[in-house]
Amino acid sequence: MQRSDWSRIAHADLEFMGPYDETSFERLLNGAELPAGARVLDLGCGKGALLRWLASRAPIDGTGVDLHPGTRPIPGVRLVTGDARSFPADPESFDLVCSVGAVSGIGRLAALARPGGLVLLGDGYWRQPPADVYLDALEATIDDMLDWQPTLEIGAPHGLTLVRALPSSVEQWDRYEATWAANGERYAAQHPGEPGLEEFLGWIRKGRRRYTELGGRGTLGFALLLFRKDQAAP
Ligand SMILES: C[S@@+](CC[C@H](N)C(=O)[O-])C[C@H]1O[C@@H](n2cnc3c(N)ncnc32)[C@H](O)[C@@H]1O
Protein backbone atom coordinates (compact mmCIF):
# COMPACT_ATOMS: atom_id res chain seq x y z
CA MET A 1 0.00 0.00 0.00
CA GLN A 2 1.26 3.49 -0.91
CA ARG A 3 0.81 6.56 1.26
CA SER A 4 -1.22 8.06 -1.58
CA ASP A 5 -3.80 5.24 -1.03
CA TRP A 6 -4.43 6.05 2.64
CA SER A 7 -7.04 8.77 2.24
CA ARG A 8 -8.95 6.80 -0.41
CA ILE A 9 -9.11 3.74 1.88
CA ALA A 10 -10.18 5.77 4.93
CA HIS A 11 -12.90 7.52 2.89
CA ALA A 12 -14.16 4.22 1.43
CA ASP A 13 -17.88 4.72 2.08
CA LEU A 14 -17.76 8.49 2.56
CA GLU A 15 -18.99 10.15 -0.64
CA PHE A 16 -18.39 13.59 0.88
CA MET A 17 -14.82 13.53 2.17
CA GLY A 18 -15.30 15.80 5.18
CA PRO A 19 -17.67 16.74 8.03
CA TYR A 20 -20.58 17.76 5.77
CA ASP A 21 -23.28 16.06 3.72
CA GLU A 22 -26.10 16.76 1.26
CA THR A 23 -28.17 18.57 3.86
CA SER A 24 -25.27 20.97 4.45
CA PHE A 25 -25.30 22.00 0.78
CA GLU A 26 -29.10 22.10 0.74
CA ARG A 27 -29.00 24.66 3.54
CA LEU A 28 -26.05 26.56 2.11
CA LEU A 29 -27.46 26.98 -1.40
CA ASN A 30 -31.07 27.44 -0.32
CA GLY A 31 -32.49 30.26 -2.46
CA ALA A 32 -29.29 30.82 -4.46
CA GLU A 33 -30.62 30.05 -7.91
CA LEU A 34 -28.35 28.69 -10.63
CA PRO A 35 -29.26 29.26 -14.30
CA ALA A 36 -30.39 26.20 -16.32
CA GLY A 37 -27.31 24.33 -17.56
CA ALA A 38 -25.13 26.29 -15.12
CA ARG A 39 -21.38 26.13 -15.70
CA VAL A 40 -19.93 24.66 -12.51
CA LEU A 41 -16.28 24.01 -11.65
CA ASP A 42 -15.22 21.99 -8.58
CA LEU A 43 -11.48 22.16 -7.84
CA GLY A 44 -10.41 19.18 -5.70
CA CYS A 45 -13.76 17.47 -6.33
CA GLY A 46 -12.82 14.12 -4.73
CA LYS A 47 -15.44 11.56 -5.70
CA GLY A 48 -17.59 14.28 -7.25
CA ALA A 49 -20.26 14.13 -4.53
CA LEU A 50 -21.06 17.85 -4.69
CA LEU A 51 -21.31 17.82 -8.49
CA ARG A 52 -23.49 14.69 -8.31
CA TRP A 53 -25.81 16.36 -5.84
CA LEU A 54 -26.02 19.53 -7.95
CA ALA A 55 -26.69 17.51 -11.11
CA SER A 56 -29.49 15.64 -9.35
CA ARG A 57 -31.33 18.93 -8.70
CA ALA A 58 -31.07 20.50 -12.18
CA PRO A 59 -28.99 19.93 -15.33
CA ILE A 60 -25.50 21.43 -15.08
CA ASP A 61 -22.49 21.78 -17.35
CA GLY A 62 -19.96 20.65 -14.75
CA THR A 63 -16.23 20.03 -14.49
CA GLY A 64 -14.53 18.37 -11.53
CA VAL A 65 -10.74 18.33 -11.15
CA ASP A 66 -8.83 16.14 -8.73
CA LEU A 67 -5.50 14.33 -8.49
CA HIS A 68 -7.59 11.18 -7.89
CA PRO A 69 -11.14 11.88 -9.09
CA GLY A 70 -14.05 9.51 -8.67
CA THR A 71 -14.85 7.20 -11.56
CA ARG A 72 -18.66 6.91 -11.34
CA PRO A 73 -20.22 8.91 -14.20
CA ILE A 74 -22.27 12.00 -13.33
CA PRO A 75 -24.76 13.34 -15.93
CA GLY A 76 -23.47 16.56 -17.49
CA VAL A 77 -20.15 16.41 -15.63
CA ARG A 78 -16.59 15.87 -16.83
CA LEU A 79 -14.23 14.52 -14.17
CA VAL A 80 -10.62 15.43 -14.95
CA THR A 81 -7.46 13.96 -13.43
CA GLY A 82 -5.11 16.84 -12.76
CA ASP A 83 -3.65 19.43 -10.44
CA ALA A 84 -6.36 21.93 -9.51
CA ARG A 85 -3.75 24.65 -8.91
CA SER A 86 -2.68 24.68 -12.55
CA PHE A 87 -5.90 23.52 -14.24
CA PRO A 88 -6.46 25.83 -17.22
CA ALA A 89 -9.85 27.54 -17.00
CA ASP A 90 -11.16 30.76 -18.53
CA PRO A 91 -11.44 33.66 -16.08
CA GLU A 92 -14.94 34.87 -15.15
CA SER A 93 -16.58 32.00 -17.03
CA PHE A 94 -18.36 29.95 -14.32
CA ASP A 95 -21.74 30.38 -12.67
CA LEU A 96 -20.48 28.49 -9.62
CA VAL A 97 -16.88 27.75 -8.61
CA CYS A 98 -16.37 25.33 -5.70
CA SER A 99 -13.47 24.07 -3.64
CA VAL A 100 -14.31 22.10 -0.51
CA GLY A 101 -11.57 20.81 1.76
CA ALA A 102 -9.14 21.13 -1.10
CA VAL A 103 -6.29 23.30 -2.23
CA SER A 104 -7.65 26.33 -4.05
CA GLY A 105 -7.39 29.78 -2.52
CA ILE A 106 -10.29 32.20 -2.49
CA GLY A 107 -8.53 34.55 -4.95
CA ARG A 108 -8.39 31.91 -7.67
CA LEU A 109 -12.01 30.89 -7.11
CA ALA A 110 -13.09 34.54 -7.32
CA ALA A 111 -11.17 35.06 -10.56
CA LEU A 112 -12.93 32.13 -12.24
CA ALA A 113 -16.51 33.10 -11.26
CA ARG A 114 -18.46 35.35 -13.61
CA PRO A 115 -19.63 38.70 -12.23
CA GLY A 116 -22.82 37.94 -10.31
CA GLY A 117 -21.81 34.26 -10.07
CA LEU A 118 -21.27 32.17 -6.94
CA VAL A 119 -18.19 30.90 -5.11
CA LEU A 120 -18.45 28.02 -2.64
CA LEU A 121 -15.46 27.47 -0.37
CA GLY A 122 -15.15 24.81 2.33
CA ASP A 123 -12.24 25.30 4.68
CA GLY A 124 -11.01 24.77 8.21
CA TYR A 125 -10.94 27.45 10.88
CA TRP A 126 -10.04 27.61 14.59
CA ARG A 127 -13.08 27.20 16.85
CA GLN A 128 -10.79 28.02 19.76
CA PRO A 129 -7.08 28.80 19.98
CA PRO A 130 -5.17 25.55 19.35
CA ALA A 131 -2.94 24.15 22.10
CA ASP A 132 0.68 23.48 21.18
CA VAL A 133 0.24 19.75 21.72
CA TYR A 134 -2.59 19.74 19.19
CA LEU A 135 -0.66 21.84 16.66
CA ASP A 136 2.27 19.41 16.95
CA ALA A 137 -0.01 16.43 16.36
CA LEU A 138 -1.61 18.17 13.37
CA GLU A 139 1.80 19.21 12.04
CA ALA A 140 0.36 22.68 11.61
CA THR A 141 0.97 26.22 12.82
CA ILE A 142 -1.57 28.64 14.21
CA ASP A 143 -1.21 30.69 11.02
CA ASP A 144 -2.48 27.85 8.87
CA MET A 145 -6.08 28.78 9.71
CA LEU A 146 -8.13 31.79 10.75
CA ASP A 147 -10.62 32.29 13.57
CA TRP A 148 -14.33 32.39 12.71
CA GLN A 149 -14.76 36.14 12.20
CA PRO A 150 -11.78 36.65 9.86
CA THR A 151 -12.90 33.55 7.96
CA LEU A 152 -16.18 35.30 7.17
CA GLU A 153 -14.24 38.26 5.78
CA ILE A 154 -11.88 36.46 3.38
CA GLY A 155 -13.98 37.14 0.29
CA ALA A 156 -14.20 40.94 0.55
CA PRO A 157 -10.72 41.75 -0.87
CA HIS A 158 -11.63 39.66 -3.93
CA GLY A 159 -14.93 41.34 -4.72
CA LEU A 160 -16.99 38.61 -3.03
CA THR A 161 -19.97 39.28 -0.78
CA LEU A 162 -20.79 36.60 1.78
CA VAL A 163 -24.23 35.07 1.17
CA ARG A 164 -24.20 32.42 3.91
CA ALA A 165 -21.76 30.61 6.21
CA LEU A 166 -22.41 27.18 7.64
CA PRO A 167 -20.10 25.68 10.28
CA SER A 168 -20.03 21.88 10.54
CA SER A 169 -21.69 20.72 13.75
CA VAL A 170 -19.87 18.69 16.38
CA GLU A 171 -22.20 15.79 15.47
CA GLN A 172 -21.07 15.98 11.83
CA TRP A 173 -17.45 16.03 12.98
CA ASP A 174 -18.01 13.06 15.32
CA ARG A 175 -19.66 11.05 12.55
CA TYR A 176 -16.93 11.90 10.05
CA GLU A 177 -14.04 11.14 12.39
CA ALA A 178 -15.56 7.88 13.64
CA THR A 179 -16.37 6.66 10.11
CA TRP A 180 -12.99 7.55 8.72
CA ALA A 181 -11.13 5.73 11.52
CA ALA A 182 -13.46 2.72 11.42
CA ASN A 183 -12.94 2.35 7.66
CA GLY A 184 -9.18 2.28 8.20
CA GLU A 185 -9.37 -0.28 10.99
CA ARG A 186 -11.76 -2.49 9.01
CA TYR A 187 -9.45 -2.41 6.01
CA ALA A 188 -6.48 -3.37 8.21
CA ALA A 189 -8.40 -6.31 9.71
CA GLN A 190 -9.32 -7.52 6.21
CA HIS A 191 -5.79 -7.23 4.77
CA PRO A 192 -3.44 -8.75 7.37
CA GLY A 193 0.21 -8.73 6.38
CA GLU A 194 -0.18 -6.25 3.52
CA PRO A 195 3.07 -4.24 3.11
CA GLY A 196 2.72 -0.76 4.60
CA LEU A 197 -0.26 -1.71 6.79
CA GLU A 198 1.40 -0.84 10.11
CA GLU A 199 2.25 2.69 8.90
CA PHE A 200 -1.31 3.11 7.66
CA LEU A 201 -2.76 1.96 11.00
CA GLY A 202 -0.39 4.31 12.81
CA TRP A 203 -1.76 7.20 10.74
CA ILE A 204 -5.35 6.22 11.53
CA ARG A 205 -4.65 5.93 15.27
CA LYS A 206 -2.80 9.24 15.30
CA GLY A 207 -5.79 10.92 13.66
CA ARG A 208 -8.25 9.38 16.14
CA ARG A 209 -6.09 10.41 19.12
CA ARG A 210 -5.68 13.93 17.74
CA TYR A 211 -9.44 14.31 17.63
CA THR A 212 -10.48 12.57 20.83
CA GLU A 213 -7.54 13.13 23.22
CA LEU A 214 -5.48 16.10 22.07
CA GLY A 215 -8.24 18.67 21.74
CA GLY A 216 -9.19 18.40 18.07
CA ARG A 217 -12.91 18.01 18.81
CA GLY A 218 -13.23 21.48 20.28
CA THR A 219 -10.50 23.18 18.27
CA LEU A 220 -10.76 22.43 14.58
CA GLY A 221 -13.80 23.80 12.81
CA PHE A 222 -14.95 23.49 9.22
CA ALA A 223 -17.01 26.09 7.42
CA LEU A 224 -18.89 26.06 4.14
CA LEU A 225 -18.98 29.61 2.79
CA LEU A 226 -21.11 30.82 -0.10
CA PHE A 227 -20.21 34.14 -1.76
CA ARG A 228 -21.63 36.12 -4.64
CA LYS A 229 -19.17 37.89 -6.91
CA ASP A 230 -19.82 41.58 -7.21
CA GLN A 231 -21.01 42.76 -10.62
CA ALA A 232 -18.18 45.29 -10.83
CA ALA A 233 -15.23 43.55 -9.22
CA PRO A 234 -12.39 45.80 -8.00
C1 LIG B 1 -10.69 16.37 1.79
S2 LIG B 1 -10.82 15.86 0.12
C3 LIG B 1 -12.28 16.75 -0.38
C4 LIG B 1 -12.87 16.21 -1.65
C5 LIG B 1 -14.20 16.82 -2.06
N6 LIG B 1 -14.09 18.24 -2.32
C7 LIG B 1 -15.27 16.57 -1.02
O8 LIG B 1 -15.61 17.52 -0.31
O9 LIG B 1 -15.75 15.44 -0.91
C10 LIG B 1 -9.51 16.77 -0.68
C11 LIG B 1 -9.36 16.40 -2.13
O12 LIG B 1 -8.42 17.31 -2.72
C13 LIG B 1 -7.67 16.59 -3.66
N14 LIG B 1 -6.44 17.32 -3.93
C15 LIG B 1 -5.44 17.61 -3.08
N16 LIG B 1 -4.49 18.34 -3.71
C17 LIG B 1 -4.93 18.53 -4.98
C18 LIG B 1 -4.42 19.20 -6.13
N19 LIG B 1 -3.25 19.85 -6.09
N20 LIG B 1 -5.14 19.18 -7.27
C21 LIG B 1 -6.31 18.52 -7.33
N22 LIG B 1 -6.85 17.87 -6.29
C23 LIG B 1 -6.17 17.87 -5.13
C24 LIG B 1 -7.46 15.22 -3.03
O25 LIG B 1 -7.15 14.24 -3.99
C26 LIG B 1 -8.83 15.00 -2.37
O27 LIG B 1 -9.71 14.32 -3.25
Residue 103 has what pLDDT?
A: 86
- Going by C-alpha positions, the residue among 68, 71, 72, 33 that lies closest to residue 54 is 33
CA of 46 to the centre of ligand 1 (A): 5
Atom of ligand 1 nearest to the CA of 49: 9
Atom of ligand 1 nearest to the CA of 69: 27
Provide the pLDDT confidence category of residue 234 given band limits of 50, 70 and 90: low
pLDDT value of position 177? 97
- 122 has pLDDT over 70: yes
**Count of alpha carbons within 13 Å of 8, Cβ hemisphere only?**
12
Rounded to an integer, the average pLDDT of 61-72 is 95
Q: At 97, which helix (H) or strand (E)?
A: strand 94-100
What DSSP element (H or E) covers 228? strand 220-229
Closest residue by Cα to atom 16, ligand 1, is: 103
The DSSP code for 128 is S
> Is residue 192, in this structure, part of any structural domain at all?
no
Q: Residue 52 pLDDT more than 60?
A: yes
Nearest CA to ligand 1 atom 27: 46
Q: What are the tens digits of pLDDT across the range 89-102?
A: 999 999 999 999 98
Ligand 1 atom nearest residue 122's Cα: 8
**Average pLDDT of every residue of the chain:** 95
Q: Ligand 1: which atom is nearest the Cα of residue 17? A: 9
* Parent domain of 65: 15-130+140-169+219-229
In a domain, 57, yes or no: yes
Q: Which residue has the higher pLDDT, 180 or 234?
A: 180
Whether the per-residue pLDDT at 82 is higher than 90: the answer is yes
What CATH number has the domain bearing residue 54?
3.40.50.150
User: Is residue 43 a part of any domain in this protein?
Assistant: yes
**Residue 63: strand, helix, or coil:** strand
What 8-state DSSP symbol labels residue 3?
Answer: G
The protein residue whose alpha carbon is closest to atom 19 in ligand 1 is: 83
Quote the percentage of the chain above a pLDDT of 70: 99
Mean pLDDT of 217-224: 97
The answer as to whether 8 is a domain residue is: no
Average pLDDT over residues 215-232: 95
106 within domain boundaries: yes
For residue 97, report the phi and psi dihedrals to the nearest 5 degrees: -115, 130
Identify the residue whose C-alpha is closest to ligand 1 atom 13: 44
Query: Distance between CA 162 and CA 155 in Å, rounded?
Result: 7
Q: Is the CB of 19 under 6 A from ligand 1?
A: no
The C-alpha atoms of residue 201 and residue 178 are separated, in whole angstroms, by 14
CB 228 within 8 A of CB 33: no
Query: Does the residue 126 lie in any domain?
Result: yes
How many angstroms is it from 152 CA to the middle of ligand 1? Answer: 22
Q: Is residue 191 part of a domain?
A: no
Residue 33 pLDDT level (bands cut at 50, 70, 90): confident
**Does some domain include residue 210?**
no
- The number of domains in the chain is 1
Query: Ligand 1 centroid vs 20 CA: distance in angstroms?
Result: 15
pLDDT of residue 233 exceeding 70: no
